[in-house]
Each structure stands twice: as C-alpha cells, then as structure tokens.
Amino acid sequence: MNRFLDLADLSREEVVDLLALAQRLQDHPEPEALAGKVLGLLFFNPSLRTLSSFQAGMARLGGRSFVVTPGNGTWKLETRTGVRMDGDCAEHIREGIPVLASYCDALGIRAFADGRDLAADLAEETFSAMAALCDKPLVNLESAMNHPCQALADWKTLDDLSVPRRGKFVLSWVNHPRALPLAVPAATLHMAAHRGMDVVVLRPDGYALPPELMDKARRAAAASGGSIAETDDRSQALAGAQVLYAKEWGSPRHYGEAEADAALRRGLADWTVREEWFSRAAPGCRFMHCLPVRRNVAVADEVLDGPRSVVLREAHNRMVVQMAVLHRLLAR
Amino acid sequence: MNRFLDLADLSREEVVDLLALAQRLQDHPEPEALAGKVLGLLFFNPSLRTLSSFQAGMARLGGRSFVVTPGNGTWKLETRTGVRMDGDCAEHIREGIPVLASYCDALGIRAFADGRDLAADLAEETFSAMAALCDKPLVNLESAMNHPCQALADWKTLDDLSVPRRGKFVLSWVNHPRALPLAVPAATLHMAAHRGMDVVVLRPDGYALPPELMDKARRAAAASGGSIAETDDRSQALAGAQVLYAKEWGSPRHYGEAEADAALRRGLADWTVREEWFSRAAPGCRFMHCLPVRRNVAVADEVLDGPRSVVLREAHNRMVVQMAVLHRLLAR
Amino acid sequence: MNRFLDLADLSREEVVDLLALAQRLQDHPEPEALAGKVLGLLFFNPSLRTLSSFQAGMARLGGRSFVVTPGNGTWKLETRTGVRMDGDCAEHIREGIPVLASYCDALGIRAFADGRDLAADLAEETFSAMAALCDKPLVNLESAMNHPCQALADWKTLDDLSVPRRGKFVLSWVNHPRALPLAVPAATLHMAAHRGMDVVVLRPDGYALPPELMDKARRAAAASGGSIAETDDRSQALAGAQVLYAKEWGSPRHYGEAEADAALRRGLADWTVREEWFSRAAPGCRFMHCLPVRRNVAVADEVLDGPRSVVLREAHNRMVVQMAVLHRLLAR
C-alpha cells in the first residue's frame, strides 16, 4: 500500500486485513516499527482528532511528526494553476507540496471542500492536484468528498461492537448552524455499503446526497452484498435500525449558496437526534457521530451522554486504525 | 501519584521526595524512562515556559508530546453544560477531553480563570469539569486559582539557593496594565506556607487576596510550622525579608470589573519593584517572579538585571521539576 | 563550531568540510547521532521550509524539537531595551531567550528585518541582541541581513549540479507586490562570492544593494578568487551565465517607505523571469530561487516548471545541510 486516499481503493478483504493489523498492533505494540520515520501533516483546515491522533499514533510506533498549517505560521498556499500570484498566497502548492514531501517519509493532507462548485468538489480537484505533486506515501486527512481514516475507524467500531455485517445502518442528516461539507456523509455511506450493510440515508427534502455519491455506494453495496436506500421518513428509516449515524451537511441543491441553505434548514429544527428517535429501532441501537458535534443542535445531551453513544470509541479508533495505515505505508 | 493538580494534595514530605527525584534526574539522567509514552498538552491560553519546558522535559525522558490549542488550528471547545451549541464553539469538552485523553498516556491542561465570577473561579469550576472528564494522569498547567508546576519550581529554587525553611518570604503585589488572574499569587502563597516559611502578603488597599486563599495558606502554615501575615506597609513587610516574590493580580474587590480595577490602580504606579525597596531587607534578599514580566512596570530593569534576581533559575527549574512529575506519573 | 550565524564566519575550506559532512550523513545516515538532544525553534516570522526541515532533520538524527511562535500561542516578545513595557508585549527577550535556551541543547531563531531603519538592520541589531542572550549553540534561521542555512543549501545545490567554481552567477532582482527584506539577496551574493564565482548583481535603478553588502561580498570574492559586478543591463548580465538566481527585495533607496517603493516598481512589471531571459545564457543555465515564490510575478510558470529550475533541489538541500549543521553543533 502506497497511498491511503479512499477506502474504495481497497477491496473488502483488504479492509478486513488492515483492521486485523490494527488489532494486532493494539494487542502486540510495536514501539520501534517506524523508528527514524518522519510524518508530515499539512492542515488547510482545523482539526482536533486528526491532529493529535496522528502525532500520538506515529509516536507509539517510534516515528516522529511535524505539523504545517498554511496561513498560521506558514505562508498561505495557492492551489489554482496558471494564476498571477499577486494576492495573499505567497507560495504555490506546486512548490509547497513537493518540498514538504521531500522532508518526510509520508505526508498527510487535510483540505476541505471549497464549497462553491459541486462538480469541482465531487471531482476532488484540489486534493487530486496536491496528491499528484506528492511522490511519497500519502494519507487523505479529509478532502472535499472523503475522510477514509474516519471511515476505517468507524468500520472498526462496528466490528468492535459486533454489529452484524447485514445490520441496518441509518445515516441521518442532522441540524447545524451552517452548511457543512459532504466529506463525512460520503465516506460513511460508502463505508457502510462496503462493509455489506443495509444502509438507509435519512434526510429532509433538499438534502439528498448527490447521485455520484449514491452511485458509488450502490456499487460498493452490490460488491459486498449490502443495499442502499434513502428516505425522508424518520420512523420508517429507524425501524429495526442497529446503528444511527448522525451527520450535518449542506444542501447539495443549494451548494455554495449559504442563504438558500439557511432558509431551507429554518424549518428543520427538529432534526436534532433525541432518545425518542429510537423508539422503533432495534434494542441496543447504537448512536455514532464522527465529532466534533454541537450538543443540542445536532444531537441532544441525553443521547450523547447515554449508553447507546459510541462516539468516544469511534474517536479512539481513529488512532488505532491510523497506526495500521502508517505501519502499512512505512514499515519495512 | 496519578494527578498533579495542586501542591496542597501532597504532604510536605511528599513534596520533598518529589524534589529529590527532580534532583536525581538532573544528576543521573534517564533518557529512556518514558520511552513510548505520549503527553498531550491542551492550552486554552498562551504559554512560553509551559509549552516549551514540558515538550523539552518529556523529550529528555524519551517520551513525546503533542500540543492542542483550541481556536487556533483546533475547534473552540465549549465548557458550559446543557447549552445549545449554536455559537462559535464547534465541540464540547465532554467529547474533546476524553478523546484527547484516549490518545495519550498523560494530559496537561491550561485553562485560566474566566475572570467574571470570583466564586466560580475559586471553586475551579472549569478546570474541575475538565479534570472529571479525563481518565488518564493529569497535570494542571495553570488553572483559575492554581499553578502547581510553578509552585514546585519555586520551592526547588528556594532550596537551590539555601533559603532557610523559616526565612521571611514576601509576596508583593506589583503593577500591570491589566487585571491578571489570581492563580500564581494563590499558588505562591500556599507554596511558601507549605514549605514552612514566614510569609507576608504585601498589597495595596483593594488587592487583599480572597479569604479562601488566605485560609488555605494558613492551614498549610499551621501544618508546616510557618506563618502568614498581610500588610500594605512596604517597609515593614520587607524588613529582614529573604525573598521578595513579585506578582501582578487584579483586585478581588472588583473582580471582573476592568474599569473599577483600572481606576484603583491609577494611584499605584509606585508599585514597581526597585532596588530601593530592598534597603531594609536581609543581605542577599532574592527577587523572584514567575515570568512573563513587564519590565519597568512590575519591576525595574535594575532589579531584573542585578544579582538578586533569580527569575531565570525559577524558569529553568520548571523543566527540572516537571520531569520529576512526569516520571512519577508515567514511569513504570 | 558553536554557532551558525553567518556563512562568512567559516572559511571556504570550513564550508567545504561542512558540505562533506552533509554528504556523508546522506550516504551513511546516523539515526542516533543526536539522541536525547532537544532543539528549540523560535519563529518571529512565518516559515514553511525552515519550520519543517529543521524538525524533520533533527528527527532523522534522533533528536527532538519544539516550536515557539511569539504572538501565536505565546506572548509577544519585546526586543527594545530600557522601555516601559505597557504595550502589547508581555515578555522581554532578556527573559524569553535565556529561558528557552535553558530548556534546549541548541536554539534556532528567525527574526526578519524590522524594515524601518536600514542602518539598524544592516547592523543586525535585533538578532545580535538575541544572540547575545543565548548561551547555547545558536542557529540563524534568517535575520535582517542573513540566511546562512539557505546560502549553505544553495552552495550544496551548485556543487550537486557541478556548476564550476568560476561559473557566472547572476543574482537578479525580480518583481513582487511588496518590498521584501534583504536577507536572502545579501546571503546569496556573499555565498556565491565565497564559493569563488563570478557574480553579477542585476537590478533596476533604485534597487542597488547597500554598499555594506556589496563590500562584504567583494571581500569574500577577493579571498576566494571570484569577482563581483553589478548592472541594470539584463542582456549583458545573462550573457554566458551558468546560474540565474532570482530574488525579490525592497528598494534600499526607499527603505521602509512602502509607497515610494511601490511607485518605483510600478514601471518594473517586466522583471518577471521568462524563458526568453535565457537566450544569451550558457546552455543549461540553471534557475534558482529560495522559495516561497509568487508564480507569474517573480517568475513565469514556464521557467519554474521547466528543466532549468532547481528550486526543489535547493529546498530539499535545506534539510540536508541543516543536519550537518546540527551534527556539528550537537554531536558528541
């Protein structure tokens, strides 16, 4: 494995193998496996889990990391090609990325969606341009439409909790003050399909995921024996569900139009996950969320603080699975 | 030892033991003692000494660190319970703290006083809420009313300089452009009392420390054989003093009222430590300050640059004693 | 070697020796050479290459680093002496530098020119004040008039590419939206002279380098058998050139006068390096730049993306030569 950019690049069996490695490293730590190795972490956007879990995981394998945050101690980086750089970017990714790559053994990059042009973001134009400039092992720390480290951690969490392969997995839109990117819903939807689950996307009118993302998930479901459905009927969606995965995202219908999106969500204040949502779910239905989460906007305290929430395990598994990814990319 | 939150949690003998460990690690370095261990450092407020000395100290023991600064590369963290999070905080400490704790072997947290409600700050409401969420060894990197690492470093500095246990220790209020927190005066007062010194708090009218802090120090003095007094008479306070410890703090009488505090300190411009202050002190009276310090506001150049100043030794001892704390918390 | 502040502190032979060490460490890595050593990195200004290459290089030698950025997570540091510190700086370098030095085995400091008083900047007043406060091995990470790590990396790049010692080296002013410091042109000019090259400074009227910098380079050229010339005639300058080193800098004639400088450069939009510049150059003339560079302002895409550009090799060599510097400063 030379890059970890999209869980879809791995077959179901390869994912299972990678998770087995994660478990092995938990059971039998290898504190010198990456001795002498250096990981560069390039963050165009804020982070808590990714920032800290990659540094901690690298350290637990004996390696070291450095962090670069353009615009904060480091020059802003231009991503557009062919432009006359007389604005606020002092450096271009065409220099910045190869230079950083030349200092490290593997590079991780976080670059959220621009959020203006849905087609460009679906095509991963920005991240792909950076990936093409990196000649070292590369990790996607969240791009416009993907978050494979989160997806892999969530898959492990489902395994840890013995959620059946064909269990019913509901990905539900939830409320937020602003339109958020599609990276996590896209990655989560695909992950659950790739695992072979029966996936239902629950979302209000206007928040259906783009057909490109639904189609990718359908292909994964077909290969793994799962299924994909979508609905705006909460009661139907949650009937018998084993997992409710909540996520905030902006309206694809009004992509990049903050006011239209805000108008649309004005009537959606009841899309805050509460205990009553689970009345028709399977006993023991789990609540998942990638974090960060806004309490009492996306999900009520009663759910996050109750026994069905597994958000802390998901977050901890970020470090666990990323150690396996780093091991696969860098260990001799 | 599982937490290092308040020097008052340790008996005098336990402090002496901890300082002996610090000295032992200076004399006989243990560069592999914390191999494979990871320290997380969470800073809600700025830092120079704490930020660098913990990273350097951890490295000198073979361990590694990562730094998280909410609002600067990381989401702002909400600390209030039960709120609807539709403001500028994207994550709650109820998630953030356990997640960070799950990545590391020990966590350090700096969270200054809110500075609005004296009772809440005296109760350490914010820091206690975070401490309750951390299931790993925890270090207080300065809270509303405490700074135990500074206090421990200062105790060692007094020992290094052979300041007698029953020496006269003057904690003096000094000038500053703004009202600063009570953490260091509180920790310093208690430390000197805990060490068994004869402590005098020298402060102008309006700047008496809250009775809760004075009472805590009196209890420590009673246990250690020291004494506590307070006065606004500089000449009397400094008569025979072996140590003058200068510190800026806001008026507890006008807590959270910036304008009233500013009005009060308008007449206090002569509370800048100068050499003439020491005319009645013991020969060789030392000048101490935790840093950062505003030259020629809190203390004149002539004092800081003269032979009685030991501020650099205090700062260096931060790393020395913190290595002992980390060793006690994390070494097998 | 106890400090690395200026390439002029080393004889030509000492530079050659240092580059031989850099090559040796490339060919025969020493992953434990600096085990247990701690490097402090103090950045008063932004950085990408320096920030990441020092951390990566230190890690590759087994050592560890911490980063401090005044005003960003750390107090702003006052550099003026004798002032009453009632402004926005909470700490003075007279405390800050010795404290940081006391935590580490070597300290690196970046402090760009103040850009107001040319004589003060030529005298390196700020950096020298900080250097005088540091009792540990010290590295100049770019000061008002120097950037020795860049100069050393560029020297190695010239060697790597077998550019002859007496080759013609053209340092050319190029366009930029703002007046930039003189550090890199000063260091580059001196480096090429020190190496023994025939150096031509190509710059428009108003951008001649200060006589102090030209004289220093002339002394180096005299010692090494090279030569120094300057001109505003691009065609003449580039005739037979083996290297074109492009750099942006502010007008020394209007030092600290942003508007006068801007007026002067309004007529200089054609000072963007293009392929046509090289028509009279030697075959294989190289294009060099220290980065960051503004594409299509300082240099056209066609040059940066073409075969004559060696900017990525220069940047990679930063890490390579800095490892030699760290090894020389810190290895037993």
pLDDT tens figures, C181-232: 999 999 999 999 999 999 999 999 999 999 999 999 999 999 999 999 999 9
Cα-trace Rg, chain A: 20
Q: Is the pLDDT of residue C31 over 90?
A: yes
Question: Within an 8 Å CB–CB cutoff, is residue A101 touching chain C?
Answer: no
Domain A3-146+315-330 listed as CATH 2.40.110.10: no
| Numbered ranges of CATH 3.40.50.1370 in chain B | 3-146+318-330, 162-309
Interior CA angle at A82 toward A79 and A86, to 5°?
75
CATH topology for C162-309 is Rossmann fold (3.40.50)
Between C183-195 and C211-224, two packed helices, what is the crossing angle to 10 degrees? 20
A261: burial class by Cβ within 10 Å (0-12, 13-18, 19+)? buried
CATH class of B3-146+318-330: alpha beta
Contact C190, C216 (CB under 8 A): yes
Looking at the partner chain, which of C56, C297, C301 has a beta carbon nearest the beta carbon of A38? C56
What pLDDT sits at residue C123? 98
CA B235 to chain centroid, in Å, comes to: 26
What pLDDT sits at residue A152? 98
Distances B62 to A165, A273, B26, B34, B107 between C-alpha atoms, Å: 43, 45, 14, 5, 16
Distance (Å) from the C-alpha of residue A102 to the closest C-alpha of chain B?
A: 23
Q: Is the pLDDT of residue C287 over 90?
A: yes
Question: Within an 8 Å CB–CB cutoff, is residue C42 touching chain B?
Answer: no
Tokens of A39: 């990981």
Question: In what side-by-side order are the strands of the sheet with C138-140?
Answer: C3-4, C138-140, C106-110, C38-43, C64-68
* A214-243 average pLDDT score: 98
B312: burial class by Cβ within 10 Å (0-12, 13-18, 19+)? middle
Q: What is the pLDDT of residues C148-190, one digit of tens each?
A: 999 999 999 999 999 999 999 999 999 999 999 999 999 999 9
Percent of chain B clearing pLDDT 70 (strictly above):
100
Distance (Å) from the C-alpha of residue A95 to the closest C-alpha of chain C?
A: 7
Q: Which residues of A are less than 8 Å from C184 in CB distance?
A: none
What pLDDT sits at residue B332? 82
Q: Is the pLDDT of residue C332 over 90?
A: no
What pLDDT sits at residue C305? 98
Q: How confident is the model at residue A70 (pLDDT cuts 50, 70, 90)?
A: very high
Output the DSSP codes for C291-310.
S---BTTTB-HHHHTSTTB-
Contact B307, B9 (CB under 8 A): no
Mean of per-residue pLDDT scores for chain C: 97
Q: Is the pLDDT of residue C301 over 90?
A: yes
Q: Which residues of B are less than 8 Å from A60 in CB distance?
A: 36, 38
| Numbered ranges of CATH 3.40.50.1370 in chain A | 3-146+315-330, 162-309
> Which of A236-245, B301-310, C71-80, C90-99 has the lowest average pLDDT?
C71-80
Q: Point out which residues pair with C288 in neighbouring strands.
A: C245
Is A47–B74 a contact, with Cβ atoms under 8 angstroms apart?
yes
Q: Is the pLDDT of residue B8 over 90?
A: yes
Distances A94 to A127, A326, C119, C150, C294 between C-alpha atoms, Å: 12, 25, 37, 20, 11
Mean of per-residue pLDDT scores for chain A: 97
Distance (Å) from the C-alpha of residue A325 to the closest C-alpha of chain C?
A: 20
Q: Which residues of C are less than 8 Å from A99 in CB distance?
A: 48-49, 291, 312, 315-316
Looking at the partner chain, which of A43, A53, A292 has a beta carbon nearest the beta carbon of B91? A292
- Angstrom distance (rounded) from CA B332 to CA B87: 44
Q: Is the pLDDT of residue B317 over 90?
A: yes
Percent of chain A clearing pLDDT 70 (strictly above):
100
Q: What are phi and psi of C13, to 5 degrees?
A: -65, -40
* A299-314 average pLDDT score: 98
Q: Is the pLDDT of residue A78 over 90?
A: yes
Is B99–A46 a contact, with Cβ atoms under 8 angstroms apart?
no
What pLDDT sits at residue C227? 98
What pLDDT sits at residue B101? 98
Q: Is the pLDDT of residue B168 over 90?
A: yes
Question: Within an 8 Å CB–CB cutoff, is residue A119 touching chain C?
Answer: no
* B152-173 average pLDDT score: 98
- Residues written for chain A: 332
Is A52–B96 a contact, with Cβ atoms under 8 angstroms apart?
no
Is there a cis peptide before residue B177, judged by omega within 30 degrees of 0?
no
- Residues written for chain B: 332
Q: What is the pLDDT of residues A17-29, one digit of tens each?
A: 999 999 999 999 9
Q: Is the pLDDT of residue A332 over 90?
A: no
Interior CA angle at A84 toward A81 and A89, to 5°?
80
Q: Point out which residues pair with A295 in neighbouring strands.
A: A299
Enumerate neighbours of C (3 or more CB pairs within 8 A): A, B
Residues near C17 by beta carbon (within 8 Å), at least 6 away in sequence: none
Question: Within an 8 Å CB–CB cutoff, is residue C301 touching chain A?
Answer: yes
Q: Which residues of C are less than 8 Å from A93 in CB distance?
A: none
Contact A304, A311 (CB under 8 A): yes
- Angstrom distance (rounded) from CA B239 to CA B235: 6
Q: By three-state DSSP, how is residue B170 classified?
A: strand
Q: Which residues of A are less than 8 Å from B66 in CB distance?
A: 51-52, 55-56, 59
Give the predicted TM-score (pTM) of the model.
0.97
Q: What are phi and psi of B221, to 5 degrees?
A: -60, -45
What pLDDT sits at residue A240? 98
